[in-house]
Amino acid sequence: MSDKDLFPNGWAPTTRYPDPAVQSLDPAFDKYRLPLAGIERLATGLRWAEGPVWFGDARHLLWSDIPNNRIMRWTEETGAVSEYRAPSNYANGHTRDRQGRLISCEHGTRRITRTEHDGTITVLMDRFDGKRLNSPNDIIVKSDGSIWFSDPVFGILGNYEGYRSDPELPEAVYRLDPETGQASLVADGILGPNGLCFSPDESLLYIVESRGTPNRKILACDVGADGQSLSNRRVQIDAGPGTPDGMRCDVDGNLWCGWGMGDPGLDGVMVFAPDGRPIGRIALPERCANVCFGGRANSRLFMAASQSLYALYVNVAGVKGG
């Protein structure tokens, strides 16, 4: 079934189970599909949705609406959608640290911040070697508390998702120790570093090269025994005509990747086995920028997709801390 068949007059909730928009590309994906679960649209009317992060203790999801310069909140108990923070300094990616605090990438201020439990905001990093960061994009926290983030130039290319400016640093991926304040450059020479994700045992770091040539790619790097260094960078997934963006791992090591660009038939989420095989697809009527797991059992996939937020229950839990 083509996406034209799935969405002939725009998207609507499925009236059929299993949802035909949740597609197995390989029998390995069958066990992750729930036959009585369909894709739900939780919110719409955004300009560019990004950076979802789940707060299980508060039973809500936060995500960015970057061009509207705000962070949004969806409340699980009531389904209410509200503004969490506006202005947000054109915030993009978010995660939580091991103390449950919100960690955010801000395009407008070109910095990494932490929202404390009392609501105050602490600047964790805005410079490296005395030079301003570009526009921090995606961010994750490792089990040792270290913060890893990508720093492409996307947010300073114009005035839509930040403020036009000239880069002072090459595009790179950084590691920050929030206790000592020490930052290190862990990966450079990547064309448009974007989404980041650790494998379940944290032995691998996946990095989206969103401006790779001739195709965009998902790279894999081995994490050293010191928990800080990377080696053996290689192409894990060649995206072909697609555009991977944000991604998360489930506990079985599968990668769930926001996907889209160009052909509408690519829009949605692609799922890859640990060896890089495409095994599943979630078709959406909009390009998906980023995903996260949440819900009671951490098995509800939230998808920030262009102008909307979608969700789907799946039969696997996401890795915590992503």
Query: Amino acid letter at 208?
Result: V
Token pair 């949004």: residue? 72
Q: What is the C-alpha to C-alpha distance for residues 106 and 321, in angstroms, rounded to an integer? A: 20
- Residue 5 belongs to what H/E stretch? helix 3-6
Set 19, 65, 138, 245: catalytic member = 245
Q: Given CA atoms 303, 261, 274, 104 in this order, what sign does their dihedral have?
A: negative
Q: Which of 316, 248, 200 is nearest to 52 (CA)?
A: 248
Per the CB < 8 A criterion, the answer to whether 105 and 139 are in contact is yes
Per the CB < 8 A criterion, the answer to whether 268 and 277 are in contact is no
Q: What are phi and psi of 266, to 5 degrees?
A: -100, -10
Decide if 138 is catalytic.
Answer: no
Say whether 144 counts as a known binding-site residue. no
DSSP tally for the chain: helices H, then strands E: 1, 27
Say whether 50 counts as a known binding-site residue. yes
Where residue 312 falls (left for φ over 0; alpha for ψ -120 to 50; beta otherwise) is beta
Q: Which residues are annotated as a binding site?
A: 50, 137, 194, 245
Active-site residue list: 245
